[in-house]
Amino acid sequence: MEPRVEPRDEPTGPAHGPARGVEARRGAADALVGRLLDGRYRIGGRIARGGMASVYEATDIRLDRTVAVKVMHPGLGDDDDFAQRFVREARAAARLNHPHVVGVYDQGDDDGTVFLAMEYVPGHTLRDVIRKESPMAPIRALALLEPVVSALAAAHRAGLIHRDVKPENVLIADEAHGGGVKVADFGLAKAVSADTQHTATGGVLIGTVSYLAPELVVDGRADARADVYAAGVVLYELLTGRKPHEGESPIQVAYRHVHEDVPAPSALHPELPAYVDALVARATSRDRTQRPADASVLLHQIHRVSQALREGVTDDPELTADLRPVAPYVHDEDEETGEDTTPEPFDPVEMANLSARLQPPPGDPRAEIVDDGHTTAFDRTAVTAVAAPPARPVAGPPDVRRPSAPAPVVTNARKRSVKGPLALLLAVLLVAALGGGAWWLGWERYTVTPGVLGVDAATASAELDKAGLDAEEGDPRYSETVAAGLVLGTDPEPGDRVLDGGIVTLVLSLGPERYEVPALAGMTEDQAQDALAQGNLGFGESTEKFSDTVPAGQVLRTQPRAGEVLKPDTPVDLVVSKGRRPIEIRDWTGEDAEEATAALERRKLVVEVTGEEYSDTVAEGDVISQNPTVGPLYKGDTVQLVVSQGPELVEVPRVVAMGVDAATERLESLGFQVDVENSDNYIGVGFVFSSDPSAGTMAPKGSTITLYLI
């Protein structure tokens, strides 16, 4: 069966937009609604339905939580090989512990009903955001795309390719649930689409036409760069509000992906910086060798562009040149003349070939055609079937291809003709020669690639040498299961045919992929996030703490700490300085100086008594003045206090027997107030008989001395 593209399921998380209510009402007649799967999942209303499976809101009665359950259509679940691939890739997707990936909780088979239990994400999809907000500012578009690409980067490092990146598969939780962005259907596309035509899925290629990379359309083979292409198309759609390639039918859209570049977004919105155009062009290059190698590289480029946008840079020629593809891509070039032979749009012969092969086999349970979403089933090989001269006929066996009947001739009965037997002999010899040549060209000169997985390079080379093959080392890859230095894979794969004396490329394992947490202390938060991305680690969350030594906005430490070795894309939390902790103080004027000093020193402030002064109004030992009187202050700052000595004391002089005027003058010169009264023995002489306080007593300056006259 020739490979086709079929519709993917709708988003598997519960954030499925307005259609959810309609699907839930339809679910009333669904036999699965109300059923208890695997003795654990009570199936509720249907959330979404696609070409391969339906998604239901369900209750996990064991943990008492709401989940989304994806149930494979019976026509697919009955295929054991297909179901096994589905399960295998679902398990791989479940290992993706990433904040922007819809979590896979469980997988099971309940009496032939193959299902997945996944995280329930109430909210909406990126498609809803595009409808409401697009075209949007580039800083907003990249903020929405960044968590998507971060999730793809985690998948690519785990060896998974999404293959159906589109706004419908990006779920955005509502504000009540944190508003997080999550990517759905991770790994499931790979579960139902192999790299060759001979698979349990009948060579069906899964994808949505509007986001299919050209190589997926042409030959169905994809790597991480197909996801990068789809992410670039999504970015174009966020920036412009429209898809880059449109047509009256899905087949026209597929054709344009192969033969037309994605337009520059600035063609519709001239205000966009050139480096934003360059980012879109690099991600959506038809030549996949010019795209970012995977989503991790694209994520770094997004960070660079976002930083330029945040800084208000309108033109950055260096960044633009760095991002723009090296040269225009020519899809179909004549190797001898160098002449560009790319067909004009909608070449009639090619379009006819595509249309002829568009219809899927009757009764195929996956064969839905959704025109408005450009999700369809079609023969991917038809895209390359351009106009070409008819193939030359090949001679076949005599019972297949007979020579033309000779014209009647006059013969002599006494002479036997040898033309007939001779022609037959020549035909037999020709068939034998052709068969022998075909046997040699198609089989005999080939050998089978030996299995050398799990051994070191030297052992593998020796085994290949015994088989008459040469070995060369290709690009190594990380592996969680194969030890470093051992053979992880070969090209051709074990069991595949290879020419005698041919070369087998060995892919050696680098062992588990691990990265050290970089030393981020002292960096700004933006610099630290960029360093984590460059170090193939993820950014978790930031918390702020006061620091008396690190300026505000700089990283204090990380969790896990610097130097720890982590798996790729593991989230690393940052502790960021809020600067010095402010200290609020109150005015201690008029209160006990010792208490004030103790309270201020407990708050890590330095107390300095700048002086002691007499005061007629402030009691001795209390604070006369304070500087400063209000905060905020910071640890180690100084507070100055002036402390009262109380009123100044003066000795009362002896004024007995002095005239009242002289006595009064002397007391007032010392700062006393004078009050005159007649004593009990007053006889009118006018001299001082006694004083209160008496002579020699220490009295506060300014206090009143009473003179008693005789």
Which residues are part of the catalytic machinery? 164
Radius of gyration for the alpha carbons in the chain, expressed in angstroms and rounded: 44
| CA–CA dist 58, 35 (Å, integer) | 10
Going across the sheet that includes 606-614, the strands are 606-614, 638-646, 623-627
Cis peptide before 700 (omega within 30 of 0): no
Per DSSP, the three-state class of 607 is strand
Name the percent of the chain in helix, strand, coil, to the closest 5. 30, 25, 45
HSE (side-chain half, CA atoms, 13 Å) at 294: 18
As given in the structure block, the two tokens for residue 205 are 């290629």
What stretch of H or E contains 698?
Answer: strand 698-700
**Three-class secondary structure of residue 117 per DSSP:** strand
Q: For residues 48 and 17, is the Cβ–Cβ distance under 8 A?
A: no
Q: Is the omega angle on the peptide bond into residue 628 within 30 degrees of 0, that is, cis?
A: yes
Return the SS3 of 532. helix
Three-state DSSP string of 640-689: EEEEEEECCEEECCCCCCCEHHHHHHHHHHCCCEEEEEECCCCCCCCEEE
**255 class by beta-carbon count within 10 Å (0-12 exposed, 13-18 middle, 19+ buried):** buried
DSSP state of 70: E
Residue 332, token pair as written in the block: 């179909």
3-state secondary structure 393-432: CCCCCCCCCCCCCCCCCCCCCCCCCCHHHHHHHHHHHHHH
Helical H runs in 544-675? 593-602, 660-669
The overall longest dimension of the chain from CA atoms, in Å, is 202
- 3 phi and psi, to 5 degrees? -70, 145
How many angstroms separate the CA atoms of 615 and 336, rounded?
108
CA pair distance 425, 344, nearest whole angstrom: 50
Residue 164: Cβ-neighbour burial (10 angstroms; 0-12, 13-18, 19+): buried
Q: Quote the CA–CA distance of 53 and 115 in Å, as a whole number.
A: 9
Cα separation, 12 vs 32, whole angstroms: 17
**Nearest alpha carbon to residue 216 among 168, 177, 164, 280:** 164
